[in-house]
Structure 1
Amino acid sequence: MKNLLDYTLEELMLWMKENGESSFRAKQVISWIYKGVKDFNGMKNIPKSLTQKLEENFKIELPKIEEIYKSEIDGTEKFLLEFSDGNLIESVLMRYKHGNSICISTQVGCRMGCKFCASTIEGRVRNLTSGEILSEIIVVQDYIGERISNVVLMGSGEPLDNYDNVIKFLEVVSAEYGLNIGQRHITLSTCGIVPKIYELADKDFSVTLAISLHAFSDEKRKEIMPIANKYNIEEVLTSCRYFIEKTNRRVTFEYALVKGINDTKEDAKALSKLLKGMLCHVNLIPINEIKESSYKRSSKESIKDFSDILKSLGIEVTVRREMGSDINAACGQLRRSYIDTQKIGGE
């Protein structure tokens, strides 16, 4: 049985036509879903005959909230969500003055192997469908009873490693019939799968592209990120320039500061030289330490020095505000600790 959330309006219209129904019924059905109705019998203007067909062919599947952790520091809430196949993912709700933002996952696990990330320790289990990615937002919106206005694809998984489902998600989440979240309020974060960056640029979307850079040289980047063995920094930057040219959108470069690895004043100067002249912004990220990695967070002094040098050399920079540090809000930490606890409990 297919999950109706995996369907675009056009796909559902085609299904209606193929099953002897008027295509306008598709818009009625989808309208009910995004009004929060999760049962076909609750769709009041749908004929009984169509309701029966829908029940025979579709389900409206949403993940179950397994756990919720709320930060006592800043109110950030982390949701551990379980799909019907037992797989777990994480979504993080962050509240700001400008609205509610959600950081969502695109895969169960990840196969990119970045050394400071807990999501990737046991590899990728499977991709999420477009409807499953969408359902993260729906479930959290329903829970808080408020609209989510900003979306970041920066949770577990590499979005461009699940390209087709992510593109479909972007189309539906921003559609008027969908959640109607403007693409300018959506950020897609990637470790740098170069061919897919070109494909994304050609889509003519207005999403923000965020690149996990984390080093100024290929040698250093390879230490941190295995993807650097496939695509060098110049290839990544060239694809970013293409994205900027096609979309006229500023690219964000994420730079996770690791003590003694990439956080020196010389690193800052080299990074400034590398990015000079690009329509870009650098987001400095003090790493969240995980027990499986020896990487340590940079000192506050090193972070400030790094930021100051970038600013002095003409690079726009911010230091990411740490959210939910007391609830393991970094990618993959909650899922992994929960699974470990379940294993111990079952022994």
Structure 2
Amino acid sequence: MAKTDILSLSFGELSEWLEDAGEPKFRAKQIFTWLHSRKVTDFSEMTDLPLSLRTKLSDSFCINRLIVVKRLESAIDNTVKYLYGLSDGSLIESVLMAYRHGDSLCVSTQVGCRMGCRFCASTIAGFVRNLTPGEMLGQIYEAERDSGRTVSSLVLMGIGEPLDNYDNVLQFLRLLSAPQGRGMSLRHVTLSTCGLVPMIDRLAGEGLGLTLSVSLHAADDAHRSEIMPVNRKYSIDKLLGACRRYFEATGRRITFEYAVIDGVNGT
């Protein structure tokens, strides 16, 4: 039987498992600290837990660790690009960037992408699968282990459309901000979307305080539909309406991304 990646479990889910296993629920905080603050990769490292509990955890769960397949470091600005290997052989990327306010990581949310934006390399091989919450967290933890730096902010702007993997992304954000673990404020997280209007509205109701970044890339429907197929379903007017509703619900600013492509959208 395949083991469950414990990094994807919420604090509540872990507490329930401990109770069902006949263990005290207070152990959940210890385990969460080991996983999300100390970033251990083996249950044997959780030295303040009884051996019997460590054995139970090992029998039921795994701690999936991403493998650094390739690492490219800029000689100019301390940017590091990672190519990670997943447990099923899939590959994803993340980018660690240094700013005056701290280090930020660009995180992937899917293997491949189904959105079909013509200028984006993520969609070339098509959509393979969604990333789990643990695999998204793993990009942070592995970058920190490798670089010795602390990630203080995130952009969900790597491979994939975050709102196309909504439930897993939401679980990831809740794990990221859980006070029992890493406790990162979601005001330090930016989520980039190509414009899935119903999911923007759904996100607005979550009360998370995220910064929303909209991948726009054209100022009229004709050009945007040509390079971004999503616009054929959700026009610019519909998208901007969702943006206004998001701002009204959250009070959080919205940024717009625009890649200037010569001869296409650069006039």
Report the TM-score range of the alignment, normalised by the length of the smaller protein. Answer: over 0.9
State the distance in 2 between where 1:185 and 1:48 align. Answer: 38
Q: CA deviation at 1:4?
A: 0.6
Instruction: Judge which range, 177-186 or 58-67, deviates more.
Output: 177-186
Alignment match of 2:66 (pick from 63, 86, 89): 63
State the distance in 1 between where 2:160 and 2:123 align. Answer: 8
Alignment match of 1:45 (pick from 45, 48, 62): 48
Aligned to 2:115: 112
1:239-278 matched pairs, under 5 angstroms: 239-264=242-267
Q: CA deviation at 1:10?
A: 0.7
Q: CA deviation at 1:104?
A: 0.7
State the distance in 1 between where 2:86 and 2:258 align. Answer: 32
Q: CA deviation at 1:158?
A: 0.2
Q: CA deviation at 1:75?
A: 2.3
Alignment match of 1:8 (pick from 3, 7, 10): 10
> What 5-or-longer segments of structure 1 have no aligned partner?
265-347
Aligned to 1:314: none
Secondary structure of 2:259's match? strand
State the distance in 1 between where 2:252 and 2:98 align. Answer: 25
Q: CA deviation at 1:178?
A: 2.6
Q: In structure 2, what residue type is equivalent to 1:20?
A: G
Aligned to 1:150: 153
Aligned to 2:163: 160
Instruction: Judge which range, 173-182 or 184-193, deviates more.
Output: 173-182
Q: In structure 1, what residue type is equivalent to 2:20?
A: E
Alignment match of 2:186 (pick from 179, 183, 187): 183
State the distance in 2 between where 1:28 and 1:94 align. Answer: 31
Alignment match of 1:17 (pick from 16, 19, 35): 19
Write out per-residue CA displacement over residues 82-125 of structure 1, whole angstroms, 9 at most, x where no aligned residue.
01110000000111111101001000011101111101011111
Q: Do residues 135 (structure 1) and 144 (structure 2) align? A: no
Aligned to 2:210: 207
Q: CA deviation at 1:145?
A: 1.5
Q: In structure 2, what residue type is equivalent to 1:201?
A: A
Q: Percent identity?
A: 51
- Flag the structure with larger Rg: 1
Secondary structure of 2:145's match? helix
Instruction: Judge which range, 65-74 or 114-123, deviates more.
Output: 65-74
Write out per-residue CA displacement over residues 295-326 of structure 1, whole angstroms, 9 at most, x where no aligned residue.
xxxxxxxxxxxxxxxxxxxxxxxxxxxxxxxx
Secondary structure of 1:69's match? strand
Q: In structure 2, what residue type is equivalent to 1:124?
A: F
Aligned to 2:93: 90
Secondary structure of 2:151's match? coil
Write out per-residue CA displacement over residues 109-143 of structure 1, whole angstroms, 9 at most, x where no aligned residue.
11101111101011111000011101100000111
Q: CA deviation at 1:180?
A: 2.1
Moved over 6 A (4+): none
Q: CA deviation at 1:5?
A: 0.3
Q: CA deviation at 1:36?
A: 2.5
CA RMSD of aligned residues (A): 0.9
State the distance in 1 between where 2:107 and 2:222 align. Answer: 31
Q: In structure 2, what residue type is equivalent to 1:95?
A: A
> What 5-or-longer segments of structure 2 have no aligned partner?
none
Instruction: Judge which range, 155-164 or 42-51, deviates more.
Output: 42-51
Aligned to 2:234: 231
Aligned to 1:312: none
Q: CA deviation at 1:45?
A: 1.6
Secondary structure of 1:197's match? helix
State the distance in 1 between where 2:148 and 2:79 align. Answer: 16
Q: CA deviation at 1:39?
A: 1.6
Q: CA deviation at 1:219?
A: 0.8
Q: CA deviation at 1:177?
A: 2.2
Q: CA deviation at 1:245?
A: 0.3
Aligned to 1:220: 223
